[in-house]
C-alpha cells in the first residue's frame, strides 16, 4: 500500500475512535447513572467535610474541658460565657 493510503486510513481510524469515545461519553453523561454517581460523590464529599469539622470541634471541646477541670482542681472558678440560671428574669 502507498504511504498516503496508510496515512488516510490512520486518520480515519483516529477520527472513528474519537467519535466513538465522544458518543459513549455523551451517552453516559446524559444517563441517569451519571447523575446518580455525581450525587453519591457529592454526598461522600459532604460526609468527609462534616466529619473533618466535627472532629476538630470535638478536639477543641476536649481541650476546653481539660482546662476547666484543671482550673477546678486548683480551686479556681473557670471562666465561662454561661450566666447563672434565672439571671435574665
Identify the pLDDT of residue 87: 54
C-alpha–C-alpha distance, residues 60 and 66, integer Å: 10
Low-confidence ranges of the chain (pLDDT < 50): none
Interacting residues of 78 by C-beta distance below 8 A, sequence separation 6+ = 67, 68, 71, 72
Q: Which long-range contacts (CB under 8 A, 24 or more apart) does 33-38 make?
A: none
Residue with cell 476536649: 62
C-alpha–C-alpha distance, residues 80 and 89, integer Å: 20
Identify the pLDDT of residue 26: 81
Statement: the pTM of the whole predicted model exceeds 0.95: no
Identify the pLDDT of residue 63: 92
Amino acid at each position: 500500500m502507498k504511504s498516503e493510503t496508510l496515512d488516510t486510513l490512520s486518520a480515519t481510524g483516529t477520527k472513528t475512535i474519537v467519535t466513538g469515545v465522544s458518543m459513549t461519553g455523551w451517552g453516559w453523561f446524559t444517563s441517569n447513572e451519571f447523575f446518580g454517581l455525581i450525587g453519591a460523590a457529592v454526598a461522600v464529599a459532604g460526609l468527609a467535610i462534616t466529619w473533618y469539622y466535627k472532629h476538630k470541634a470535638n478536639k477543641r471541646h476536649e481541650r476546653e474541658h481539660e482546662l476547666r477541670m484543671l482550673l477546678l482542681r486548683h480551686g479556681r472558678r473557670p471562666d465561662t460565657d454561661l450566666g447563672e440560671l434565672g439571671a435574665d428574669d
